[in-house]
Structure 1
Amino acid sequence: MFESFLAAELTKHIGTPVEVAMSDGLVEGIITSVTGNLLTILQTVGYGYGTTTTPLTISIPAINFVTFSPVA
Protein backbone atom coordinates (compact mmCIF):
# COMPACT_ATOMS: atom_id res chain seq x y z
CA MET A 1 0.00 0.00 0.00
CA PHE A 2 2.74 2.45 0.89
CA GLU A 3 4.58 1.63 -2.35
CA SER A 4 1.57 2.74 -4.43
CA PHE A 5 1.37 6.01 -2.46
CA LEU A 6 5.10 6.62 -2.96
CA ALA A 7 4.83 5.82 -6.69
CA ALA A 8 1.97 8.34 -7.02
CA GLU A 9 3.99 11.04 -5.22
CA LEU A 10 7.10 10.35 -7.31
CA THR A 11 5.02 10.64 -10.48
CA LYS A 12 4.07 14.19 -9.44
CA HIS A 13 7.78 15.07 -9.31
CA ILE A 14 8.94 13.89 -12.75
CA GLY A 15 11.70 16.28 -13.89
CA THR A 16 12.69 17.10 -10.30
CA PRO A 17 16.17 16.53 -8.81
CA VAL A 18 16.04 13.86 -6.13
CA GLU A 19 18.17 11.91 -3.66
CA VAL A 20 17.10 8.31 -3.15
CA ALA A 21 18.38 6.28 -0.19
CA MET A 22 18.41 2.50 -0.24
CA SER A 23 20.00 -0.03 2.07
CA ASP A 24 23.10 -0.22 -0.13
CA GLY A 25 23.64 3.48 -0.76
CA LEU A 26 22.44 6.91 -1.84
CA VAL A 27 21.93 8.02 -5.44
CA GLU A 28 21.15 11.43 -6.92
CA GLY A 29 19.52 12.28 -10.20
CA ILE A 30 16.45 13.64 -11.96
CA ILE A 31 13.25 11.63 -12.02
CA THR A 32 12.45 10.64 -15.60
CA SER A 33 9.65 8.09 -15.13
CA VAL A 34 7.65 5.99 -12.70
CA THR A 35 6.20 2.76 -14.09
CA GLY A 36 4.49 0.31 -11.78
CA ASN A 37 6.93 -0.32 -8.92
CA LEU A 38 9.95 1.09 -10.78
CA LEU A 39 11.48 4.55 -10.53
CA THR A 40 13.88 5.68 -13.26
CA ILE A 41 16.25 8.57 -12.63
CA LEU A 42 18.89 10.14 -14.85
CA GLN A 43 22.01 9.93 -12.71
CA THR A 44 25.03 12.18 -13.38
CA VAL A 45 28.30 10.31 -12.92
CA GLY A 46 31.73 11.97 -12.79
CA TYR A 47 32.98 15.54 -12.89
CA GLY A 48 34.29 17.90 -15.57
CA TYR A 49 35.01 16.41 -18.98
CA GLY A 50 34.35 12.87 -17.73
CA THR A 51 30.73 13.59 -16.79
CA THR A 52 28.15 11.17 -18.17
CA THR A 53 24.46 10.71 -17.56
CA THR A 54 23.16 7.23 -16.95
CA PRO A 55 19.56 6.10 -16.52
CA LEU A 56 19.13 4.11 -13.33
CA THR A 57 16.03 2.06 -12.51
CA ILE A 58 15.21 1.50 -8.84
CA SER A 59 12.61 -0.81 -7.35
CA ILE A 60 10.27 1.38 -5.28
CA PRO A 61 9.98 -1.17 -2.42
CA ALA A 62 13.80 -0.93 -2.02
CA ILE A 63 13.64 2.83 -1.27
CA ASN A 64 14.21 3.87 2.37
CA PHE A 65 13.65 7.60 1.87
CA VAL A 66 13.53 10.29 -0.80
CA THR A 67 14.65 13.91 -0.62
CA PHE A 68 13.48 16.34 -3.29
CA SER A 69 15.71 19.24 -4.29
CA PRO A 70 14.34 22.55 -5.52
CA VAL A 71 14.43 22.98 -9.28
CA ALA A 72 17.07 25.56 -10.23
Structure 2
Amino acid sequence: MFESFLEAELTKRIGTPVEIAMSDGFVEGIITSVTGNLLTILQTVGYGYGSTTTPLTVSIPAINFITFSPVV
Protein backbone atom coordinates (compact mmCIF):
# COMPACT_ATOMS: atom_id res chain seq x y z
CA MET A 1 0.00 0.00 0.00
CA PHE A 2 2.76 2.48 0.90
CA GLU A 3 4.61 1.71 -2.34
CA SER A 4 1.61 2.79 -4.44
CA PHE A 5 1.38 6.03 -2.40
CA LEU A 6 5.11 6.68 -2.92
CA GLU A 7 4.80 5.90 -6.64
CA ALA A 8 1.96 8.44 -6.98
CA GLU A 9 3.92 11.09 -5.05
CA LEU A 10 7.06 10.53 -7.12
CA THR A 11 5.03 10.81 -10.33
CA LYS A 12 3.81 14.26 -9.21
CA ARG A 13 7.42 15.30 -8.64
CA ILE A 14 8.94 14.50 -12.05
CA GLY A 15 11.61 17.15 -12.71
CA THR A 16 12.41 17.54 -9.00
CA PRO A 17 15.92 17.01 -7.57
CA VAL A 18 16.03 14.13 -5.06
CA GLU A 19 18.42 12.38 -2.70
CA ILE A 20 17.68 8.66 -2.30
CA ALA A 21 19.07 6.32 0.37
CA MET A 22 19.02 2.56 -0.15
CA SER A 23 20.59 -0.26 1.83
CA ASP A 24 23.54 -0.41 -0.57
CA GLY A 25 24.16 3.30 -1.10
CA PHE A 26 23.06 6.85 -1.64
CA VAL A 27 22.26 8.54 -4.96
CA GLU A 28 21.04 11.93 -6.06
CA GLY A 29 19.62 13.28 -9.28
CA ILE A 30 16.49 14.60 -10.97
CA ILE A 31 13.37 12.45 -11.33
CA THR A 32 12.73 11.76 -15.02
CA SER A 33 10.09 9.01 -14.90
CA VAL A 34 8.14 6.61 -12.72
CA THR A 35 6.91 3.35 -14.25
CA GLY A 36 5.35 0.70 -12.06
CA ASN A 37 7.78 0.00 -9.22
CA LEU A 38 10.70 1.69 -10.99
CA LEU A 39 11.98 5.24 -10.55
CA THR A 40 14.40 6.71 -13.09
CA ILE A 41 16.59 9.65 -12.18
CA LEU A 42 19.17 11.59 -14.16
CA GLN A 43 22.27 11.39 -12.01
CA THR A 44 25.07 13.98 -12.41
CA VAL A 45 28.53 12.52 -11.97
CA GLY A 46 31.40 14.94 -11.34
CA TYR A 47 31.52 18.73 -11.23
CA GLY A 48 32.24 21.44 -13.76
CA TYR A 49 33.85 20.61 -17.09
CA GLY A 50 33.80 16.90 -17.72
CA SER A 51 30.76 16.16 -15.59
CA THR A 52 28.35 13.65 -17.11
CA THR A 53 24.71 12.78 -16.65
CA THR A 54 23.69 9.17 -16.38
CA PRO A 55 20.18 7.72 -16.17
CA LEU A 56 19.77 5.45 -13.17
CA THR A 57 16.77 3.20 -12.47
CA VAL A 58 15.91 2.41 -8.85
CA SER A 59 13.39 -0.11 -7.58
CA ILE A 60 10.88 1.81 -5.42
CA PRO A 61 10.70 -1.00 -2.79
CA ALA A 62 14.50 -0.66 -2.34
CA ILE A 63 14.22 2.98 -1.20
CA ASN A 64 14.83 3.48 2.54
CA PHE A 65 14.20 7.22 2.47
CA ILE A 66 14.02 10.05 -0.03
CA THR A 67 14.59 13.78 0.32
CA PHE A 68 13.16 16.28 -2.16
CA SER A 69 15.07 19.47 -2.95
CA PRO A 70 13.47 22.65 -4.25
CA VAL A 71 13.75 23.20 -7.99
CA VAL A 72 16.23 26.03 -8.67
Provide TM-score, normalisation by structure 1: 0.97
Q: Which residue does the alignment assign to 2:71?
A: 71
Q: Which runs of 5+ in 2 are unaligned?
A: none
CA RMSD, Structure 1 to Structure 2 (Å): 0.6
Equivalent residue runs for 1:8-23 within 5 Å: 8-23=8-23
Partners of 1:37 and 1:14 in 2: how far apart?
Answer: 15
Distance 2:4 2:65 in 1: 14
Identity of aligned residues (%): 89
| Count of residue pairs the alignment pairs up | 72
The structure where helix makes up a greater share of residues is 1
1:35 Cα offset (Å): 0.2
Give me the TM-score of the superposition, normalised by structure 2. 0.97
